[in-house]
Amino acid sequence: MPKLTFIFGAILVVVGGGGYVFSLTNNTDHWTALIPAIIGVLLLISGAIALKNLMAGIHIALLIALVGALGMFMPLMNLGELFAGEAERPAAIISALISLIVLVVYIILGVRSFLAARRWKKG
């Protein structure tokens, strides 16, 4: 699970950094484009903690992923405008959607990992 945490953290850093660079080229730069990257860095830190203390690091990472996923719903309120071609900041909506998908997949994999570990302990 720590390896997955590093992978998913790196993906989010790329999504956030790419979104910010894209916003710079369109003269709509805003620090909120970096939110996925911030979440990604926190996941990377949690992954490093997990190398020393597996349970604590992964629990922290899953909490960060859950809060991050919940935070991605606000920009997605404009998803209809994106499909209609009327979105004010389409890159922000796309970045939030990608981030939400990445975070939800990470949460699912983390929960499955915890369930498998629990079954292994009992067996």
DSSP assignments along 3-37, one per residue: HHHHHHHHHHHHHHHHHHHHHHHTT---GGGGHHH
Distance CA 1, CA 107 (A): 11
Distance CA 47, CA 84 (A): 39
What was the pLDDT predicted at 11?
A: 94
What was the pLDDT predicted at 109?
A: 94
State the DSSP H helix or E strand holding residue 105, giving kind and residue range, or none if neither. Answer: helix 90-122
What was the pLDDT predicted at 40?
A: 95
Retrieve residue 119's tokens: 């079954």
What was the pLDDT predicted at 123?
A: 63
Residue-range definition of the domain harbouring residue 101: 2-122
Q: How many domains does the chain have?
A: 1
What was the pLDDT predicted at 29?
A: 65
**In tens digits, what is the pLDDT along the chain, a chain of 123 residues?**
889 999 999 999 999 888 888 877 777 667 777 889 999 999 999 999 999 998 899 999 999 999 999 988 887 787 777 777 776 777 777 888 899 999 999 999 999 988 887 787 776
What was the pLDDT predicted at 96?
A: 86
